[in-house]
Structure 1
Amino acid sequence: MILVTGATGTIGGEVVRQLAARGEMVRALTRDPAAARVPSGVEAVPGHPGDRASVEGAMAGVAAAFLVGVFGPDDAEHDRGLVEAARSAGVRRIVKLSSIGTGDPRLAGFGRWHLPGEEAVRESGLEWTVLRPSSFASNTLAWADAVREGTPAPNPMGEGQQGVVDPRDVAEVAVRTLLEPGHTARTYTLTGPETISASGQATVLGEILGRPVTLLSPTVDQRREQLLGAGLGADYADSLMAGARFIEEGGNAVVTDDVPEVLGRPARSYREWAEDHRTAFGAE
């Protein structure tokens, strides 16, 4: 049995689908199993990384676990709890979803979100792998409504180049590291095959759709006000602002060979992702 936490998220949901397609026994931890859309044969169980009792129950009889415990700056203890529950339950192998740049002081608070979890994983005594993906290609789905309407799409992260990665590649790496030997004590930084800016992504989308895609980039002050207006606390907003500044200053202009190394094929480009998701942006 393989447990997937964050099982309805961008990466966790794809990990569930890929494992199920391989015929693996999968248990999906989700807040609302009745509402979860999981493949036939997947066991959906109720729980959340912040609810230790539910996590411990979900870990019973599990051989390997995909750990997604950090959704914001206050979740470090969730990550530790996932690792402790896995060890107590006799789980043999754990794969933690982290983030590119973890530990980089230029990222300020955002760069520390995953550090306690990574430390817990490395000190667990289990077979472990840490995945540090770059910005997801799917983040541009936030533009979809505006693109369909023909209005400027919001671009809160500035114009820095990033090694944008297809979530399907991240999930496939996770599946390989959950199932295959040879990945123990490895930290993989997962990127696409090239760096690309937000305007570069908009250009690619425009070429695929056959019409221009324009972006609306707020000022720094406007970005912070939007985050606060969305209900985020000041510390959370400032962490995200530090992340945006890091990108704008070129800190995330990173491409690695880790995806090709694990998968034995090139990483998918942003164009490949956009072609496969063109209907989300209004393509016929």
Structure 2
Amino acid sequence: MTRTVLITGATGTVSTALTKALAGADVDLRALVREGSGADGPRERGAEVFVGDLDDARSLAPAFEGVQDVWLLTPNGPRAPENAMNAVWAARRAGVERVVRLSVVGAAHDAPNRSGRLHALSDRETERCGMRWTILRPHWFMQNLLNEAGDVAATGTFSLNMASARIGMIDVRDLAECAARVLLDDPDRHHGQTYTLTGPRSLTFDEVARELGRALGRSVTYLPVGDDARRGTLLGHGVPGWIADMLEEYARAYASGWGDLTTGTVAGLLGRPPRDVSDFARDHAAAFTPAGDD
């Protein structure tokens, strides 16, 4: 029987990549989107769209009815555990068989950042949900570098408050393919597993800059800045204060060496090495190139 998979967070970067990774698979896709968030993208990728909001438990039942597998991605924010709880409760009431949950690297009750501590609460709830479950804990996304693409294109530089941090960053496409692999495998195969997903090597941002430069054929320089300067930039771009605080906590943790780790989990799930930052830079070179340049 063809299984029905519900994708939450369906319009975001990770879930968009996941729906692409599931294209052509023998599953019926559903996408949960908020009112006014734009359903065209998920629909174009073959998903049946349901309107609902993880903030509103009463809005979720129709999307979960008849679903076997849920991809659970909650927005970053102080209500993340409530959002996850609402989804898990809706899944239980609908008779869902499996939850595959997107967590974060290092999620734990004593994580050095509020995101990690909040995700730990939802991870624990997922582990005790009474359904089959798998938790994915990806490292820092290479796609985060796209936030700096405008500066790189304009000045050949980018600024982060990461000091000399070394990070085992992962390409979102690999995360999505790992999630697809779990969702397409027999539900028992990955039940009870928590997978920490990283790229193939741990990199400083000076090394990232060099890889971007090679892909672009020109010099790119990483300029470390302080927390206050970075916070000002984020707030100036409209990033909410809570998110800016969370990112500052991550930056401090990474600068202390907390993110200097890699695993072989992506290769174990996909049967191939994860993408390197050099692959990311080559594939996304156009985003870092000034308009009008070849």
TM over 0.5: yes
Alignment map for 1:168-207 (pairs within 5 Å) = 168-181=173-186, 182-207=189-214
2:92 to 87, 90, 98: 87
Alpha-carbon distance in structure 2 between the residues aligned to 1:104 and 1:197: 27
107-116 vs 247-256, which moves further: 107-116
**Cα-to-partner distance string for 1:39-98 (whole Å, 9 max, x where unaligned):** 353212212221212322211110101001141233211111111111111110110000
Q: Is 1:36–2:40 an aligned residue pair?
A: yes
Alpha-carbon distance in structure 1 between the residues aligned to 2:212 and 2:243: 30
Question: 2:148 aligns to what?
Answer: 143
Alpha-carbon distance in structure 1 between the residues aligned to 2:102 and 2:142: 16
**Mapped contact 1:69–1:82 kept (Cα < 8 A):** no
Alpha-carbon distance in structure 2 between the residues aligned to 1:106 and 1:62: 33
Alignment map for 1:158-237 (pairs within 5 Å) = 158-181=163-186, 182-227=189-234, 230=238, 232-233=240-241, 236-237=243-244
Give 3-state SS (helix, strand or coil) of 2:60's partner.
Answer: helix
Alpha-carbon distance in structure 2 between the residues aligned to 1:61 and 1:211: 53
Q: Is 1:102–2:112 an aligned residue pair?
A: no
**Mapped contact 2:102–2:137 kept (Cα < 8 A):** yes
**Mapped contact 1:100–1:133 kept (Cα < 8 A):** yes
**Cα-to-partner distance string for 1:159-212 (whole Å, 9 max, x where unaligned):** 311111011110111111112131110000000010012221111000110101
2:119 to 114, 133, 149: 114
**Mapped contact 2:9–2:75 kept (Cα < 8 A):** no
129-138 vs 32-41, which moves further: 32-41
Query: How has the CA–CA distance of structure 1 residues 61 and 79 changed in structure 2, closer, same or farther, with 3 Å as cutoff?
Result: same
Identity of aligned residues (%): 37
Deviation of 1:225 (Å) = 3.9
**Cα-to-partner distance string for 1:117-173 (whole Å, 9 max, x where unaligned):** 111110011110000000011110011111222353232333311111011110111
Structure 1 gaps of 5+ residues are none
Alignment map for 1:63-82 (pairs within 5 Å) = 63-82=68-87
> Aligned-residue CA RMSD in angstroms?
1.9
Q: What is the TM-score with the length of structure 2 in the denominator?
A: 0.90
Question: 1:129 aligns to what?
Answer: 134
Query: How has the CA–CA distance of structure 1 residues 227 and 150 changed in structure 2, closer, same or farther, with 3 Å as cutoff?
Result: closer
Alignment map for 1:244-263 (pairs within 5 Å) = 244-263=251-270
Alpha-carbon distance in structure 2 between the residues aligned to 1:15 and 1:279: 22
Structure 2 gaps of 5+ residues are none
Alpha-carbon distance in structure 2 between the residues aligned to 1:111 and 1:131: 13
Q: Is 1:7–2:7 an aligned residue pair?
A: no
Deviation of 1:14 (Å) = 0.9
Question: 2:22 aligns to what?
Answer: 19
Alpha-carbon distance in structure 2 between the residues aligned to 1:29 and 1:96: 15
**Mapped contact 1:106–1:246 kept (Cα < 8 A):** no
**Mapped contact 1:70–1:113 kept (Cα < 8 A):** no
